[in-house]
Structure formats: structure tokens, C-alpha cells
Structure 1
Amino acid sequence: MGRFRSFGAYMRQRFGATVYKVNVDAGFTCPNRDGTLGVRGCIYCNNDSFRPNSCRPTLSVSNQVATGIAHVEKRYGAHMFLVYFQPYTNTYAPVEQLEALFKEALAEPSVAGLAIGTRPDAIDSEKLDMLEALASKYFILIEYGLQSIYDKSLKFINRGHDYQTFLTALEMTRGRGINIGAHIIAGFPTETKTETLAMAEELSSLPIEFLKIHQLQVVKDTPLAELYMKDPFHVFEYREYLDFLADFIERLSPDIVLQRLFATAPDDILIAPLWGRNRHQILNDIEKNLEARGAYQGKKYKATVTPRSTA
């Protein structure tokens, strides 16, 4: 048993085999980029910081799935896959279009389900009805980008929605058989360390089953990069982040599955922080630090908070 509840271990337990992600780009945009809410997006957002080169919307979803599966099969001998709709807002289209794209991805027999990255202000009951129907047959995980529980931070990053919008999306989604995930970023200059750590307890009180957390990264061609170059603010140093993460994990409910613990933007666009370590080294150091501290997920968690209702 590891010191935190990892996504890979959870999926192996659930499906009896290792499940590999295949990323696809369905060509979506974002309400914070197409003029609905704004045109520059969130101040940190450069999708090239997390989108693989093989993931481009020039190919159909089925072609991207087939290409991704062939690559992962050859490299890892994989036999079961989760299709990840990743770049931008993957519920930002009419429900008929979404259903067609999702079913296209699920048509491959070795695909066990979908992970769908989206915003909490880009969901509605009709789309959730469609996802609920898919969830009766497949593993469906909707990942809501929250980034912070603090409205002051959401305003700073030009997110375009407040925390209440996220809570409302959770209420709409819960109880439908759809797996619910959240994504947060640690290290905004608008928050103290104590405030950021407090998100662990708050999120643990909500109907969230999966969580992604990573450090704030400053990448090229973003408004955040412009701010940083004019007036540099503090970003996590490597050792500092390892200790922060241990503190956070200890405060987090042991029931929540951790999908991501850090980010690694490509070196050619990353401005800060510059840690000089690859994914394997970072994960190894996270585990070593947890062990050295005697830390594990939920060690300081107190299940005394009643899940918040927005009704």
C-alpha cells in the first residue's frame, strides 16, 4: 500500500489491469477565449504546456485514438485504455456534437472509458444526462478545472467564474454514476501557504472522488509570463514544493484518488520554476520525502466536516 491513493493503482484495482491514457484533441475552444467571457483565457494558460505533440485536432477523434493506442501498445504492451479529452473545454459544444465525439472515442473495444477535462461553467443538465447514460456502460470521469477555492485567486487568474459556480456543478453532477474530479493549482501569489493548504480540508468535504494538484508554472506567451517578467513573484522551489505536497496530502481525505501531483511544462516554454528534474525523478523524490517524514494521505485528516450543499 502506497503513501497516497494513486490513480494508476485505483484503475488497476477497478479493472484488474493497467489502464493507459490516450490523449485526444477534439478541436474545442473555451468560453474564456472565444469572446463569451474573454479572449486571452486564464493568465497562466498555454495549452502547449500540457498537450502532447501527437495530440492535434487535424485528425478525427477515432484516428487520434487509433494512433495513440498503437503507440502505447507498442511501448508498454497495453491492452486497456482511457481516452482523455484534454485541451481547452471539452463540454463546450452542443450536446449532440459532444455525444457523437464521445461515442466515437468509445467505439474502440479496448477503450474502458473517458476522462473529460472541462470548466464548471460549461456544463448543464442536458449534457449531464448524456454523460449519465454513457456512465451506465463505461467509466466516465469529468474533471472540473477549479484551480482555487478563493475568489480573489480566481479573479487574479482571470478564470471567468467563481467558487460557487464549481459547487453548483458538483451538485448537478453528483449521484449520476459519473466520476467527479477536480483540478487545482498551488502557488498563486494571491494566497498564503496556509490558505492553499486549507483547500485540502475544503475539497475533502465535497463530493470529489479524484484530484489533480500541481505547482504554478510560468510559461511563455501568457499574461502571467508578462506579469512575472515585470515584477517576479515567488514560485515554489523544489524542496519547498515537496514539503508543501506532503503537508497537503496529510490533510486530504484518504478516499480521494490523486491523479496528478506536479506539472512538467516543456523546457522550451517554461520560465519558472526551473527544477531541472524529469517526471520519474520528481515522483521518486515525492515518495522518498513522504517516507522520510512518516507522512501518508489522510494522516491529519479529520472527517468532521459535513459535505457542503448548494441547494
Structure 2
Amino acid sequence: MGETVYSWGHGRRYNDFPTYFRALFSERVQKVSIDAGFTCPNRDGSKGLGGCTYCNNKTFKPTYCNLENSVSSQVLKGIDFFARKYEAMKFLAYFQAYTNTYAPLDDLKRLYEEALEHPKIVGLVISTRPDAVSNELLDYLAELSRKVYVMVEFGLESHLDRTLESINRGHSFSESVWALEETAKRGINNCAHMIVGLPGESRDELLDQARTVSQLPVKNLKLHQLQIHHGTILARQYNENPERFHLYTAEEYIELVVDYLELLNPAIIVERFISQAPPDLLIAPKWGLKNFEFVAKVEKRLAERNTWQGRLFNE
């Protein structure tokens, strides 16, 4: 008997991002992170102050991202960092820190187009909030996406409004739905970013999240286990009331991810299951697993259970 080929066209038991990306580009493509000096509407007072309770941007910002460096300079430094490992490759400029659409449109155009000036940059990945994009901006990105790869990554974080309020997101889930629908109808690639295990969310509610996400025009999905980082409001809350938190063990989370995948629309491309923070910033949980090690464990568990992404979709 030959290998099972699933609806996404290959034999891996979930619709994985690396396979999709290799098929999309004929060569190795790597994201280069850029910090363009943005803030957020729930930091500067327009929606709130203090930012999201879990947020410490140092957990995902490479050392070459520095506000003293221009976008062009950060692109060059990022490309140089990866070029030492791989000679032939292209890059995506990843506007990652804070809310990367939170500025006047003319300023955004200047920053995005500055990044695209480098001949090895073949597209943009723009991390933002669903309440920080306008029709005008999306029309511009739709036009841009006809020339280069454009992905807009939305921090949805939860499908429950009570959770969004408790983590000080400053937007509702209906705004998330609007943002996904508006990007999809313009043909712009989108990505939904969800944090799994936020305080007060039950396992059943997290599986319901998979069903909810599956009904939306989501192209890519990033899952991120709840982590408590030093220097955050969440760290203080965890210290004061640890009983409010259920921090999954790696084994529990693997099982939850497999259950989540079974319910997930098979058309959705899964970009990642976990996030890694620098050890000196991480309070808990400390699994000691790298991304590729976690993926291997999920794939092993999918095989052991003889299941796959979407097996229970629409059932």
C-alpha cells in the first residue's frame, strides 16, 4: 500500500506551512524581522494603556532589530545574519514588533516600500491587530500583493470576548472576523494568531475555538501556548493568583493540539504550534522543547492515534 495523500496534497498528517511554502517559492525563503518603531492603540491611550497583559516584545525580537537602525539597515543586518548559513535564498521583511499598521498610510507605504527595495526581499509579512487596519490600507496591500507576496498576520488571541477584555486587547472578536473577511475578499494572504490556554478558558472552549476558526476565511494559523514572561501584567497576576492559571504540561498540550487539529478545517495551513521565548524572560511553563522537537512529538501522536487535520471537521 502507498502512503496516504491528504486533501492538501501530501502525506503529512496536517497541512503544514513549510511544505506549502516550499511549493509556493522555488527556493529557500526566510523571514527577516524588522522593528519600525510602532506602538499599539492599547498602549498609547487611544484604546487603553499598559498593553496586552501577556506582552513583552523582547521575547520575539532579534538583536539586529533596533530603533536606531533604519528599515533598510535592519533588512541588511537580517539578510547578513542568515546569508552566513545559506548562500542562495530570498527573504520576506517581517514587520513584527507591536502593531505594524498603526500609522498614517503614507508613512506605512514609505516603510514597506523601503523594505522591498532590497533585491533579495520578495514580500512582506505584517503583524498587526484586527482593529488597526482600514479599507484604504487593505486596498493598498491588495494592489501590492499583485506584485509581491503579502501576508497580514492578525493577533486574534481568543474567540471569546470575555477573554479579550480580561487580557486588555481593546478589540472584540467581531472585529477579528471583519479583518479576516476583508483581507480574504481582496485576495491578501492572512494569518490568525491564537494563544492557547489563556486564564479562564476551558479545554472544551479551546476545542470550540478550532470549530469557530474553521468557519472563517483563515489562510494560515499560528498557535502559541500561554507563556508567562517576566515584566508583564500577566506575570504579576500569576504571582498573586496562580490558581487562576492552568499551565499545560507539554504532554497535555500535545494531546490538545491533536484534538484541535482533528476539528480544524483541512484547508487552513498550520504555521506553528508553539512559541519559544528566551529562557531568561520565561517564568513558566518551561518545557525545554524546540519548535522542531514539538512538531515531531505532534506528528508521532497523530500517527499513534491514526488521525489527521480535519478528520472531525464539520461532524
Work out whether the TM-score is over 0.5: yes
Residue 277 of structure 1: how far off its partner (Å): 2.3
Secondary structure (helix, strand or coil) at the match of 2:85 reads: helix
What's the % identity of the aligned pairs? 45
Say which SS state the counterpart of residue 180 (structure 1) adopts. Answer: strand
Match of 2:294 in 1: 282
- Aligned position for 1:181: 191
Structure 1 CA distance for aligned equivalents of residues 183 and 110 of structure 2: 21
Could you list the per-position Cα deviations for residues 266-308 of structure 1 after superposition, in whole angstroms to 9, with x for gaps in the alignment?
1101111111223332222222222222222111112x8xxxx
Q: Distance in 1 between matches of 2:104 and 2:130?
A: 16
Q: Secondary structure at the match of 1:174?
A: helix
Q: How does 1:160-239 map to 2 (within 5 A)?
A: 160-232=170-242, 233-239=245-251
CA distance in 2, matches of 1:2, 1:15: 19
- SS of aligned partner of 1:224: helix
Corresponding residue of 2:141:
131
TM-score (norm 2): 0.93
Which among 242, 249, 270 is matched to residue 258 of structure 1?
A: 270
Deviation at 1:176, TM superposition (A): 1.3
1:89 alignment partner in structure 2: 99
Structure 1: stretches of 5+ with no match in the other structure: 305-311
Cα distance per residue 1:48-73 (max 9 Å; x no partner):
11112222222111111111112112
Mapped to 1, the partners of 2:297 and 2:123 lie a distance apart of: 31
CA apart distance, 1:213: 0.6
TM-score (norm 1): 0.94
Deviation at 1:12, TM superposition (A): 0.9
Moved over 6 A (4+): none
Structure 1 counterpart of 2:79: 69
For the 8 Å contact 1:8–1:18, the answer to whether it is kept is: no
Q: 1:153 aligns with which of 163, 167, 181?
A: 163
Q: Secondary structure at the match of 2:151?
A: strand
Letter in 2 for 1:119: R
Instruction: Report if aligned partners of 1:22, 1:65 keep a CA contact under 8 Å in 2.
Output: yes
Work out which of the residue numbers 139, 147, 150 in structure 2 matches 1:140: 150
Partner Cα distance (2:163, 2:35) in 1: 28
Deviation at 1:78, TM superposition (A): 4.0
The residue that corresponds to 1:9 in the other structure is 19
Report the alpha carbon displacement of residue 201 of structure 1 after superposing the two structures with TM.
1.3
8 Å CA contact 1:89–1:122 kept in 2: the answer is yes
- In 2, Cα distance between the equivalents of 1:147 and 1:54? 27
Q: Is contact 2:258–2:302 with CA below 8 Å preserved after alignment?
A: yes
- For 1:136, what is the secondary structure of its paired residue? coil
Deviations 1:148-198 (A, max 9, x none): 010011011111011111112223322212111110011012211011111
Correspondence for 2:282: 270
Corresponding pairs, count = 303
1:55 to 65, 69, 86: 65
Deviations 1:111-133 (A, max 9, x none): 22111000011010111111111
Corresponding residue to 2:40 among 30, 38, 44: 30
